[in-house]
Structure 1
Amino acid sequence: MSHSVQQAIAALSLPPEWRWHVDVRRRRSTLGIEVAPDGRVLFAVPADADPTDVALAVRKRLPRLAEEVRRRGERPPEPVKELVSGSSFAYLGRRYRLRLIPVEDGRRVRLYGGWLELPDYASPEKSVQAIAAWYTERGTAWMRARLPSLQSRVGVTPKAIEVRALPDHWGSCGPDGVVTLHWAVMQLPPPLLDFVLVHELCHLKVPGHGPAFRREMRLVLQDADHRERWFAVDEPMLWRGQVRPRIGR
């Protein structure tokens, strides 16, 4: 099946520079199209999908898809941080300066006195893990507190919500009903966090990103289109853990 669908999509003469592939998902009932942050395109199709129907659906979405791929291709390089006192880190849309503190038993990453305090570990990897763990812990608490209001507006109840690192997306909604968000989104201001969370909750009702999905988003967030444009500006700036080596360490 996937080979036939792949041939049907290839016959559409997609731009040669596009990187795309077909993924057959048995639990899907409709076509889903996903564009990864690096511009790769995934066509998620049901196991019984008709190749001709898939090709027609892709053709209808080509203008919007081409714009999304173009935008992804123009992304600036992934942000890189220096783990030195004074470096800037965002949390809930606000900026905090990093302050390195001595490594002592029981000391953890925390916001204190307007600073983001980080034990001065010798290993950059350990420092990144500590910061990511802090975002994860704070993000999990924030998302779980925000979830009841938003899920009632969407009309769904996810099985669980998780915050952790994701390889290619800022959020995902699994077939088991678990909504997962990347810890890095906790750098965004609350209106954009709502946008990301509502996006995944709406996927519990509507797979893919077609007209039905966009209508669902607008029902929950009347300014969904504005937030989407805002998110497109802010999300390339999200730090995902890349750091520069520290001189002399």
Structure 2
Amino acid sequence: MHIGLGLPIADPIALPEWARRADSAGFSTLGLLDRMVYDNPEPLVTLAMLAGVTDHIHLQTEVLIAPLRDPALLAKQAATLDRLSGGRFALGLGVGGRDDDHEATGTDLRTRGRRLDEQLAIMRRLWSGEPFSQTCGAIGPAPTAPDGPDLLFGGFQPAAIDRVGRWGGGFLAAAAPTWAGGLFDLARRSWTDHNRSGAPRIVAQLNAVLGAQPLIDHARTAILDYYEFSGRADYMAAGLLTTPDQIRSAIKQFEDLGADETILYCYGTDPDQVDRIADTVL
């Protein structure tokens, strides 16, 4: 089981320190979430900076809301980050679900799933070196692998999870261990249905904070604010793991379900959490 860290979003200036500590401690991955109409750093820009202050740790969007973006520009940005990081970048993608994000970008919420599939087809073509069209040339740089960066797909509905097998890559599960197993099974079934060799990469997410009570309270407030739109804010805040035993137990549950990696999302901003969590799980 690999263990990564999901970066807090409240203080972007502190993120290079988080990244350096996580890289030195031996965490597998740095994850960063995406929203448009919210006070969070843009993930591709931020991860590009963090690639420059780290040597080994992988970098991952969890998840980038692709339908908000132009596919040709996104393909170029992802390939650039992939090359600059030496192949350490994984592109986690999802469709989102907030009206305001789509209003701000002039995109249609109702067609976001179809748009993501269209974007993936375009990006795969561009990453392989094909021209954009008969009248428009290729868009570089070339990624480190012909198919482009590793792909992960988030989601809860069968149609969303079926992208794992349809496009190849892995599944990102923002679900508690008690009900994530069924989602894992859907991702594996999609892989088999689309005649993929091997197995999909399964990545689980947990919300965690270790520290004094004010830090825990701050983390809970941040979760409530972030998930306010979803109608599940109280549920998400109640699932925050705040002790070493809770964190280790949840990771073990995901390991038993066959997850390859667990990302611990840290909503408190104290970078000493990196060391406390490393002492707990590494």
Larger Rg: 1
Q: TM-score when scaled to structure 2?
A: 0.22
Q: TM-score when scaled to structure 1?
A: 0.24
**Larger helix proportion, structure 1 or 2?**
2
